[in-house]
Structure 1
Amino acid sequence: MQQTLYFIRHGEPLETGRLLGRTDLPASISGNEQVYAQLQACDAISQVISSPLQRCQTVARAFCESAGLTLQVDPRLSEMDFGDWDGQSYEVLWQSTQSPGIGDFWQSPWQHTPPNGEPMSVFHMRLSDWWQQFTTTASPQNTAIVTHAGVIKQLLATWLGLPEGFDTHLSRLEIGYAKVIKVTVFYDDTGRAWPKVVF
């Protein structure tokens, strides 16, 4: 069995320059239009899964309504919770003398957790749980997943077989607003999933 997955980052938020994790800021009209166009361009989509945050869910729901599909919303696909930093401007965060600071986090996110935020190990685990469940209950249909850059980056580590705790790729990959990461998943005779990132 083989299936194709399209992971789409949400569109540009209504307000930029902020660290958005669980902060539920909507996407701009043009941002939603870009994601909608990406969804339309995906090949033979038969199911759509979305983060519950409105910058993802609003456009995913609109697409499903037009395509006659039922939207699946999964909270495990939410962005990382940045705790006290969530929703703050990058300018304020970079000027802060608090320790750990945002620079510490960007350089070593497994070692530095935002104050009152979600540890990277917990973020990793909830996405690993989602991926494990998704691949053990999969059917041969094309799926679009509307989610966040942090979610996609963490799943990339899983697809590429990077060791737990590896984080160098997080600061070296840029996934722009409304960009698509295509993944084909092959299932062998034992049901094991073999994902390939397609460029």
Structure 2
Amino acid sequence: MDAFTSRVYLLRHGEIATPGILCGHVDVALSDVGYEQMRLASAKLSRFDAIYSSPLKRCSTHAEFLARQHTINVQYNNALKEFNFGDWDGQDYQQLWQQNGKPHVGDFWQHPWQVKVPNGELMADFYARVEAWWQAFLVSLTESKHTQSLVISHAGVIKQILAIICHMPKQTNTHLNVFHLPYAGLITLDVYIDEQGQAWPKIVF
């Protein structure tokens, strides 16, 4: 096959309508500010061959808007959902820090691979689903030869993808501390597909 480069944009959703909560699988909408943030971020981008999105509405609403503009379908995948915070999901973040139960939310942030959120997702399972999606996505780029793709997801998912690209040690929380991704934050990648179909992603600054 002929080598080619595919540009991939990773876009975090905008500000949510209920700020201050721990927002994982809870399905909250964007605020008016959040919609404007998404509009401004995506206005910088050219036409897409494909749009991939988390099905949660803080991502999907803008994904559908862009899909109508570009006359393409959104490809939704549950693997692009944020981490499932279980019993903590949707709770006020400051109140969670004041609770004395075990495990404490602070314990989780310090040791996310060792501490299980009550009725939530294991970090190992979260990593596995994001990694599986990313590897399948790279294969799809090789087969489809898309030149421009947009992925709309969440901070946790995008940070995990960046950790995979940067070959960070698996069972650490380094990526949670060294990557800061604001609302409607946009990451640009160039994925070089060589003659053997091997994908080589690079972060573009």
TM-score by length of 2: 0.93
Give the equivalent residue in structure 2 for 1:195. 201
Q: Secondary structure at the match of 1:79?
A: coil
Distance in structure 2 (CA, Å) of the matches to 1:163 and 1:174: 18
**Equivalence for 1:110:** 113
Match of residue 159, structure 2, among 116, 134, 153:
153
Query: What is the Cα deviation at residue 47 of structure 1?
Result: 1.2
| Structure 2 Cα separation of the partners of residues 163 and 192 of structure 1 | 22
Residue 185 of structure 1 deviates from its aligned partner by 0.7
Q: Which segment is superposed worse, 42-51 or 130-139?
A: 42-51
Offset, 1:40: 2.4
Further displaced range: 132-141 or 72-81 = 132-141
Q: Which runs of 4+ in 1 moved over 6 A?
A: none
* Closer/same/farther in 2, CA of residues 171 and 99 from structure 1, 3 Å limit: farther
- Note if contact 1:107-1:171 (Cα within 8 Å) is conserved in structure 2: no
CA-CA distance at 1:36 after TM superposition: 2.2
Structure 2's unaligned 5+ residue stretches are none
Equivalent of 1:97, from 90, 95, 100?
Answer: 100
Provide the aligned length of Structure 1 versus Structure 2.
199
* Contact kept? 1:39, 1:144, Cα under 8 Å: no
Question: Alignment identity in percent?
Answer: 40
Match of 1:12 in 2: 15
How large is the RMSD of aligned CA atoms in angstroms? 1.1
- Distance of 1:68 and 1:7 partners within structure 2: 20
Q: 1:119 aligns with which of 122, 145, 154?
A: 122
Q: Is the 8 A contact 1:106 1:171 kept in 2?
A: no
